[in-house]
Each structure stands twice: as C-alpha cells, then as structure tokens.
Amino acid sequence: MATRVQLTPEQAAAREEYESFARDHIAPHADAWDRSAAVPEEFITTIAATGYLGACVPAAYGGSALDAIGFGLLNEETGRACSSVRSLLTVHGMASQAIGRWGTAAQRESWLPRLATGAAIGAFALTEPGAGSDVKGLVTTARRTEDGFVLDGAKRWITFGQRADIYLLFARLDGRETAFLVERGAPGLHVTPVRGILGTRASMLAELELRDCRVPAEALLGKPGFGLTAVAATALELGRYSVAWGCVGLIQACLDASLSYADRREQFGKRLRDHQLVQRMLADMATGAAAARLLCQQAGWLREAGDAQSVHATWLAKYFASTTAFRSAADAVQVHGAHGCGEEYPVQRYMRDAKVMELIEGTTELQQTTIAQSAYVGHAPARPATTPAATSNAALADDEKVTA
Ligand SMILES: Cc1cc2nc3c(=O)[nH]c(=O)nc-3n(C[C@H](O)[C@H](O)[C@H](O)COP(=O)(O)OP(=O)(O)OC[C@H]3O[C@@H](n4cnc5c(N)ncnc54)[C@H](O)[C@@H]3O)c2cc1C
C-alpha cells in the first residue's frame, strides 16, 4: 500500500495513467536499455505521443503545462520504472522551462512547439572538467562576432547529450556567466558518448567539445551575466524537484521488488518476510517511501503556490529522497542475497541508479551544507551564559575581569 495524501481526483487519475504507461512501456525494457546503454528511438516516439515531453511547456505552445504535483507524479512513476527515462524528463523539462521563462518570443516560438511534441529533445550543459559542484568555476568562453558568438570550452556528463537537438549551455561572455541555446550540428560542436557509467546507464551521456563553435546572435538566452543566478538556478531547482520525485519512485520500486522476493523465498523453514531482520529492511523502505513522498508533496504544494520556501523544501525533499533511495536500494540487494547481484532482478540497477541520485542536481554534501546553513535562519543565537559573577566585574578576581 503506497501512502498518498491530498491528491485531487484529477491528480489521482493522472497518476494511474502514468503508472500504467510506465508499467507497460518502460519497466519491461528498463534492464535491456540499461545493458545497451541507450533508450531506443522507438521509445522516444512512444513517450512523445503521450505528450509527457511537453510537461514543462506552456499550453499556448502545445505543451501540457503540468502543475507541480502532476509533474512530480509523472517523475515518480517514471522513476519507479527506469531512472534513465526519468532523467530524460528532467533535462528535457529543464531546457523547456528555461526557454519558456527566459526566451524571447522568437526563441519560444522556434523551440517550444518542437520540445512539446518531442520533435526536438533538450539537454542541460553546465558541468565542465574543472567545474562540478562549484559551477562558478566554469571557464567555457563566448566571444561576440559580427553575426553571433564563438564558443570555446568543454562540457562533461551531459544527460541525453548523445541524443539532444538543443543544449542549454553556459559560458562566460565578457567574463560574465551567460546562457546559450546551442543546436546539435552547430559548426565546431563535437559530441562524444560517455561509456561505462555506473548508473542511469541508458541516459545517453555525452561530453561536448566546443572548438570555435559558431552560434547565431539568437542563441543568447536571457541577459548576459544572468546565466547562473537566474537561468541555471531555476533550471536546477526544477531538476532537483524532478530527481526528488524520481527517487520516491525508486524507493517504491525497491520496496515492491523486496516484498515480492521476501514473500517467495524461504530459508530456515520460513519465508524471508517472516524473518525479523528482513522485516526491518522492508519497514525502512516503506517508511522511507512514505516520508520522501510527503516531502516531495510539500515541495510541490509550495512550488505551485509560488512560495519562495519551495526552494528550501525541494532541497529537503531531494536530500532525503536520494539518500533514502540509496539505502533502500542497498537493502533491496541485501534482501535478494546473491540473486540481488545478478541480472535476473532489477535491484542491482536500482542501486547503481540510486548512487547517481546522490551526485546530480547538488551532491549530498552540498545539500547537507546548504540545509544546515538555512537551519540557522531564524534561529535565535544562544545567549551567553550569565552568572551573577559574570554580570559584575566587581565580583570577579582581577585575572578574570572582562576587558576591552
Ligand atoms: C549520471 C550523471 C549525469 C549527469 N548529468 C548532467 C547534466 O545533464 N548536465 C550537467 O551539467 N551535469 C551533469 N552531471 C554532472 C553533475 O551535475 C556533477 O557530477 C555534480 O555537479 C558534482 O560535480 P562533480 O562530479 O564534479 O563533483 P565535485 O564537485 O568534484 O565533488 C566531488 C566530491 O566532493 C564533494 N564536495 C565538493 N565541494 C564540496 C563542499 N563545498 N563541501 C563539501 N563537500 C564538497 C562533493 O559532494 C563530492 O562528494 C551528471 C553527472 C552524472 C554522474
């Protein structure tokens, strides 16, 4: 029984639809896609036909413009079946939302209808060899020419970079962080697949090399200098929200697989589900799924209400959901014993995918430091200890007196 609170009838119906799509069209193939390190083109056509790729595109441009909870549920059900497909929704949504929010009318008209139907796939290209968590360390440069810009630099670990038609890419223009829309096929853009990645193996990662890469003047997205603080920040917020919900699905998948296996497998004359130490793992997964889902719902409600606290709520949700997903996946492998290490069961994939969730859209450590710092906001500083002696210098011995 998955605990859910306060879904409207429409949201509940949408969740059922996403669940059924994921069960029929994603879950049966997820292990094979993981092994082949790619999501096939036929599947992109299939998911495009559902309209799910238009989740972050306004209706005026042909998108489905899902509300925050609706988008979360789509990510949960997709993430329950396959984290690589969920990551497609994440980066495609980040690019779509950025163009919708920061693009000119011409950029929106040019890209959003294609992103809504899946005729174009978007990706997010921020990370560089020397700039990971510290995104301000980016060194890719953009220089103005008569009719546009020339970009030079490198981007690493770009999800669906092998497949994308448009990259939301960040570079320094006159030293200031700036966002650009770089099309696949731009002269001087070289795309190399990343092989042998630990998890989300089917997410078609690529490295991008920009050597004298020429883009037109219309490639500039938003104002120069707004690249990180506005464009990337809002895109990463959406990405974090999407990953958090995807992790809820991943925890649920770990629980589903473990419940089934523990029900069937017998050791010492009884089913695994009746061994108390196995029950501990099942209980932690069930509690983790429910708690992560509630944190995601809270972030979603605040996001939908346009409440600034949604940023902090999303950090909490992503931190809790991703760390719980990894613990749940490790426990799911444990429940399956040696079978958990083989290809017969998906739990080894869940564990590899869950580790990635602790790195992307802000590593666990970056979330810990951010959340800890925010916890001090509104926290009353501890009052200095006051003793009768401390309040009166006269009462102190000479060497104890407080002096300026
Ligand atoms: C599968 C996958 C998909 C990805 N997809 C994309 C994508 O689509 N687009 C994109 O731009 N990037 C993408 N990335 C890159 C991802 O965003 C980065 O991996 C992430 O930002 C962390 O950067 P890093 O790997 O360079 O680690 P680093 O920043 O080098 O960190 C290494 C370790 O040091 C810790 N650390 C760093 N700074 C601090 C600090 N101040 N305090 C405490 N600990 C710290 C980190 O938490 C981590 O444990 C992807 C990565 C993976 C693995």
What distances in angstroms separate CA 205 from CA 23, 208, 343, one per listed residue?
A: 25, 10, 22
Structure confidence at residue 379 (pLDDT): 85
CATH number at residue 174: 2.40.110.10
pLDDT in tens, 138-152: 999 999 999 999 999
Structure confidence at residue 404 (pLDDT): 40
Q: Write out the catalytic residue numbers.
A: 361
Same domain, 183 and 236: no
Report yes or no on 134 lying in a domain.
yes
CATH number at residue 117: 1.10.540.10
Distance CA 19, CA 295 (A): 20
Same domain, 212 and 172: yes
Same domain, 321 and 351: yes
Report yes or no on 338 lying in a domain.
yes
Structure confidence at residue 402 (pLDDT): 40
Residues with CB under 6 A from ligand 1: 91, 124-127, 132-133, 157-159, 197, 200, 205, 356, 359-360, 363, 365-366, 369
Cα angle: 253, vertex 123, 106; to 5 degrees = 135
What's the token pair of residue 172? 């320094």
Same domain, 63 and 34: yes
CATH number at residue 360: 1.20.140.10
Same domain, 241 and 368: yes
378's CB contacts (< 8 A; 6+ apart) are: none
Reading phi first (left if > 0) and then psi (alpha if -120 to 50, else beta), residue 195 is in beta
Task: Spell out the per-residue pLDDT of the chain, length 404, in tens.
Answer: 666 678 999 999 999 999 999 999 999 999 999 999 999 999 999 999 999 999 999 999 999 999 999 999 999 999 999 999 999 999 999 999 999 999 999 999 999 999 999 999 999 999 999 999 999 999 999 999 999 999 999 999 999 999 999 999 999 999 999 999 999 999 999 999 999 999 999 999 999 999 999 999 999 999 999 999 999 999 999 999 999 999 999 999 999 999 999 999 999 999 999 999 999 999 999 999 999 999 999 999 999 999 999 999 999 999 999 999 999 999 999 999 999 999 999 999 999 999 999 999 999 999 999 999 999 988 887 777 665 544 444 444 444 434 34
Domain boundary among the residues 69, 88, 121 is at 121
Structure confidence at residue 386 (pLDDT): 60
Same domain, 169 and 69: no
Atom of ligand 1 nearest to the CA of 126: 11
Residue with CA nearest ligand 1 atom 6: 158
Q: Please say whether the beta carbons of 207 and 159 come within 8 A.
A: no
Structure confidence at residue 15 (pLDDT): 97
Domain span at residue 77 reads 9-121
Distance of CA 351 from the midpoint of ligand 1 (Å): 18
Q: What is the 3-state secondary structure (H, E, C) of 72-105?
A: HHHHHHHHHHCHHHHHHHHHHHHHHHHHHHHCCH
Residue with CA nearest ligand 1 atom 45: 365
Report yes or no on 384 lying in a domain.
no
Q: Please say whether the beta carbons of 273 and 257 come within 8 A.
A: no
Report yes or no on 200 lying in a domain.
yes
Report yes or no on 19 lying in a domain.
yes
Residue with CA nearest ligand 1 atom 18: 132
Cα angle: 72, vertex 376, 296; to 5 degrees = 10
Report yes or no on 166 lying in a domain.
yes
Distance CA 119, CA 166 (A): 11
Atom of ligand 1 nearest to the CA of 133: 29
Radius of gyration of the chain (CA): 24
Structure confidence at residue 382 (pLDDT): 76
Structure confidence at residue 3 (pLDDT): 63
Domain boundary among the residues 103, 121, 139 is at 121
Domain boundary among the residues 72, 91, 121 is at 121
Atom of ligand 1 nearest to the CA of 363: 47
User: Ligand 1 test: best mutation among 138, 231, 359, 373, most atoms within 8 Å of CB?
Assistant: 359
Same domain, 43 and 157: no
Same domain, 95 and 134: no
Q: Please say whether the beta carbons of 100 and 58 come within 8 A.
A: yes
Atom of ligand 1 nearest to the CA of 91: 8
If one counts the domains in the chain, the total is 3
Residue with CA nearest ligand 1 atom 43: 365
